[in-house]
Amino acid sequence: MDYTHLGRTGTSVSRIVLGTMNFGDRTSEEDSFAILDRALELGINFIDTANGYGGAGGRGATEEIIGRWFAARPGVRDDVVLATKVHSPMVDPTPDGDVVNARGASAWQVRREAIGSLRRLQTDRIDLYQFHHIDRHISWQELWQSMEVLVTKGEVVYAGSSNFAAWNIAQANEIAAQRHFLGLVSEQSLYNLTQRSIELEVIPAAQNYGLGILPWSPLAGGLLSGGSSDASARSGSERIMSQREQRRDQIAAYEAFAQERGWTPSALGLAWLLHQPGVTGPIIGPRTVAQLESAVSALDIRLSTEDLTALDELFPGPGGQAPEAYAW
């Protein structure tokens, strides 16, 4: 396993991040435990989840599975850098609309959800507490006050963001600096060969402020995975099948590119991200141990300058960062 620092912190994390969104939904608890066990054996020490994950198992089910895994593996908790998120509603909306204060990142909500996540995860701390989305209804002062309290109590170690625009990252960390607080150390963004818009501004901002980039949906929901005969796989969904049809020639060329070099399409997609500046590690979401092991093989792929150029031609990015990408 390869490791790197989490953003500008001194904490080392694996360059493959184990995402757990399928736990309790597409993956049973027994299989989830097997994936977590194998991840540790492979050297993965970075686990990402969210308060709202659980799918068919219900909101919070994923955190509960991880919590039971920790309880069944005494001593394992300190081997793991554990990340979760806050923002998503944890209750169903009423017929008249959302439940009051059920979502967002107000100090009231952050405190309540941190308590809930700690309980479900059966842990005394969250190593990386991430704002799952920008909350435009609160001030940065309120956001940082809530995080400062959690850090002071020892219940949170670092703060991160997800789905923030570049100017949100700048706002957040400038205000944090004024408060003599560390601020954001990571940004989770949609990033893969088919969706490269964060190269315009988010990645440059993250690098400037010392945030590690954690790409989610690194295989474009399965579009870059090579397909699957499993009807329960995301790559077999109607949406992804439609995209495969629309991009038939492009995906065929991509899969041939991988095959010619002896790589799987999924490993190639992850390897490409590992070669991009600012990326700490892609967040994988395996449903099986075999998928986990396949993802880790991406670490063995070394892309040449010619390989990277060929992939740029096949999946053009925005042309670099703004404004040069569209101006001069």
Hey, which residues are catalytic here?
Answer: 53
d(Cα 68, Cα 264) in Å, to the nearest integer? Answer: 33
Which residue has 């994390």 as its token pair? 13
Alpha helices per DSSP H over the chain: 29-41, 61-72, 107-121, 140-152, 166-178, 202-209, 238-246, 248-260, 265-274, 289-296, 305-314
d(Cα 158, Cα 185) in Å, to the nearest integer? Answer: 7
d(Cα 252, Cα 275) in Å, to the nearest integer? Answer: 22
Query: Which DSSP letter does residue 323 get?
Result: T
| C-alpha of 186 from chain center | 10
Q: Give me 46's structure tokens.
A: 């970075």
d(Cα 319, Cα 2) in Å, to the nearest integer? Answer: 29
The 10 Å Cβ neighbour count of residue 181 is 15
Cα diameter, the chain: 58
Asked whether 91 and 102 are in contact (CB, 8 A), the reply is yes
